[in-house]
């Protein structure tokens, strides 16, 4: 039996290897470095690793766009314009998330438990808190998840798709249970996320098995272009179009269900509000921005390369899911009285808008989804960063995050800077002109009209107008209502969260006022459809 070694283009994997190497080094820091020195070391390691990966992404972009790189499709991944652009978007989200995750307030408080293994309310937990410990294992877990996010949109086979899904998810299951305050709620959120995530993985695996059974291959290229890969072997999708092969249609549909769970599209959204509310707020921001972006970008590659040939058969289902997602996110979001749950339903509504880009199935939609992932991701990390600094006050001391809507009454008087930052993020979510959210929605809706989804765009515009109500309601509370009592306090950041919020505000404005540079770069990435 002969063995042919795979041809691996290691240069294309450099950005991901930097992140994975830093994650492994972070595990060693947890094992061997003194506890009090870990936080600074882990923060510096994570930030430097992401900055190094961004430099590597710029290098690979210049190489691939100039056509001097052959790529690496043989080993299960595609180094192409779309994949590199997707990785760049995710690294920006990851950098902002790390800055918010690493923040400690002026009182030395962190969003994470002193020691995650301590039983909530136990004497051991009290001793850990008194000692000033912080669970710094969140940093390598974040880097492992970020590495999975970077690989998720570039996978080119169904096995790698499943492995990357688990690499993204498993660290987040742990991190969701590590909240410093309301620990039982945090652990409940982690359990819900884990159980429902297992169902999503099962759907994706079942769909992959059906596609393999129908085609004899797990490679995207074989599923899409069987005749070009191996003469005489028909493409599974071509066969489905000609012979109405329900096995292939069911396989594609089940894989889509697994990915739609991760983007929290209705009716697969049930986990989202509870997990967003219970997880540590910086982790919630990382999940809301990073997981949604990477899942959508992976969905783009899978659908445009494999499922696009079945778009006519899948159109009724996708239209129904998109409309239901927008309706659920809008209607249920309006009645929420908790800011984190309100942002969760906002994220659900945005998932419905982004599904228009999948349904449109054209090059402009690819650019629009990339831009939307960037603009939405930056604003989301920023919004949850603001939430992490607004705390309950107990006798003058800061406690858990104050997440009730009424807790934001008069925030502009307590902290004009935080109120202004939150206002910019909310206006971007609402799609108000001169923000990145407006350009993102405009590009996406135009792509939808070009793709024949005009009525879906009309529904999305109506939904977007309705969601503006609960965004502007919060703005009114911050600026036009007086604070009620002394039950809420605003804590000062040690600097990293403030830096992340400043960058997020400037980026949100820049993407709204001067979007052309980003649109030009991301436009070069729209190469999945000839």
Task: Please indicate, yes or no, if residue 3 is contained in any of the structural domains.
Answer: no
Residues 6+ apart with CB under 8 A from 64: 71, 79, 80, 81, 84
Task: Please indicate, yes or no, if residue 1 is contained in any of the structural domains.
Answer: no
Task: Please indicate, yes or no, if residue 271 is contained in any of the structural domains.
Answer: yes
DSSP symbols for 118-149: SPTTSHHHHHHHHTT---TTHHHHHHHHHHHH
Task: Please indicate, yes or no, if residue 529 is contained in any of the structural domains.
Answer: no
Whether cis (ω within 30° of 0) applies to the bond prior to 267 is yes
Sign of the torsion angle spanned by Cα atoms 403, 405, 406, 410: positive
DSSP conformational letter for 234? P
Task: Please indicate, yes or no, if residue 499 is contained in any of the structural domains.
Answer: yes
Residue 351: helix, strand or coil by DSSP?
Answer: helix
Q: Order of strands across the sheet with 397-401?
A: 397-401, 390-394, 488-490
pLDDT by residue, tens only, the chain of 530 residues: 566 666 667 778 899 999 999 999 999 999 898 888 888 999 999 999 999 999 999 999 888 876 655 544 445 678 888 999 999 999 999 999 999 999 877 666 777 777 777 677 667 766 666 666 777 889 999 999 999 999 999 998 899 999 999 999 999 999 999 888 888 888 899 999 999 999 889 999 999 999 988 888 888 888 876 433 333 444 555 544 444 478 888 899 999 999 999 999 988 888 999 999 999 999 999 999 999 999 999 999 999 888 877 778 888 899 999 999 999 999 999 999 999 999 999 999 999 999 999 999 888 999 999 999 999 999 999 999 999 988 887 655 567 788 888 889 989 998 899 999 999 999 999 999 999 999 999 999 999 999 989 999 999 999 999 999 989 999 999 999 888 767 788 887 778 899 999 999 999 999 999 999 999 999 888 877 65
Query: Which pTM does this prediction carry?
Result: 0.92
Q: Which residues pair with 490 in a beta bridge?
A: 390
For 276, the domain range is: 10-523
Task: Please indicate, yes or no, if residue 235 is contained in any of the structural domains.
Answer: yes
Task: Please indicate, yes or no, if residue 5 is contained in any of the structural domains.
Answer: no
Instruction: Give the chain's domain count.
Output: 1
Cα 351 from Cα 265, distance rounded (Å): 6
Task: Please indicate, yes or no, if residue 368 is contained in any of the structural domains.
Answer: yes
| pLDDT tens, residue by residue, 25-69 | 999 999 898 888 888 999 999 999 999 999 999 999 888 876 655
């Amino acid at each position: 039996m002969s063995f042919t070694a795979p041809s691996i283009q290691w240069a294309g994997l450099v950005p991901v290897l930097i992140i994975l190497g830093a994650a492994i080094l972070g595990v060693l820091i947890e094992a061997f470095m003194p506890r009090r020195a870990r936080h600074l070391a882990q923060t510096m390691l994570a930030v430097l690793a992401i900055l190094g990966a961004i430099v590597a992404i710029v290098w690979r972009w210049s190489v691939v766009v100039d056509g001097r790189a052959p790529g690496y499709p043989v080993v299960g991944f595609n180094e192409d314009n779309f994949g590199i652009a997707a990785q760049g978007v995710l690294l920006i989200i990851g950098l902002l998330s790390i800055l918010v995750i690493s923040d400690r307030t002026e009182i030395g408080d962190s969003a994470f438990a002193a020691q995650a293994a301590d039983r909530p309310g136990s004497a051991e937990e009290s001793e850990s808190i008194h000692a000033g410990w912080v669970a710094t294992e969140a940093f390598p877990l974040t880097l492992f998840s970020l590495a999975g996010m970077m690989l998720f949109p570039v996978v080119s086979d169904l096995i790698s798709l499943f492995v990357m899904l688990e690499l993204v998810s498993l660290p987040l299951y742990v991190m969701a249970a590590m909240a410093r305050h309301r620990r039982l709620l945090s652990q409940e959120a982690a359990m819900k996320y884990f159980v429902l995530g297992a169902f999503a993985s099962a759907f994706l695996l079942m769909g992959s098995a059906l596609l393999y059974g129908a085609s004899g291959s797990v490679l995207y290229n074989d599923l899409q272009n069987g005749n070009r890969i191996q003469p005489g072997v028909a493409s599974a999708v071509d066969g489905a179009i000609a012979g109405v092969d329900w096995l292939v249609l069911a396989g594609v549909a089940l894989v889509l269900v697994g990915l739609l769970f991760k983007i929290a599209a209705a009716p697969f959204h049930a986990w989202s509000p509870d997990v967003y509310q219970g997880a540590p707020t910086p982790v919630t921001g990382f999940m809301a921005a990073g997981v949604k972006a990477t899942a959508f970008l992976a969905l783009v590659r899978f659908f445009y390369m494999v499922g696009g040939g079945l778009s006519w058969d899948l159109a009724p289902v996708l239209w129904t899911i998109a409309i239901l997602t927008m309706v659920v996110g809008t209607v249920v979001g309006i009645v929420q009285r908790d800011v984190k749950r309100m942002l969760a339903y906002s994220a659900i509504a945005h998932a419905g808008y982004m599904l228009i880009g999948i349904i449109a199935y054209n090059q402009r939609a690819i650019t629009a989804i990339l831009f939307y992932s960037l603009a939405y991701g930056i604003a989301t990390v920023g919004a949850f960063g603001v939430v992490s600094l607004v705390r309950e006050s107990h006798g003058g001391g800061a406690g858990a995050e104050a997440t009730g809507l009424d807790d934001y009454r008069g925030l502009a008087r307590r902290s004009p800077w935080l109120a202004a930052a939150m206002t910019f993020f909310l206006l971007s979510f609402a799609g108000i002109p001169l923000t990145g959210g407006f350009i993102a929605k405009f590009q996406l809706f135009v792509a939808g009209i070009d793709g024949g989804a005009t009525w879906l765009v009309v529904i999305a515009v109506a939904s977007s107008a309705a969601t503006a109500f609960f965004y502007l309601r919060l703005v009114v509370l911050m600026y036009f209502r007086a604070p009620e009592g002394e039950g809420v306090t605003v804590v000062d950041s040690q600097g990293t969260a403030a830096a992340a919020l400043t960058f997020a505000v400037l980026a949100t404005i820049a993407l709204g006022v001067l979007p052309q540079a980003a649109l030009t770069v991301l436009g070069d990435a729209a190469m999945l459809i000839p």
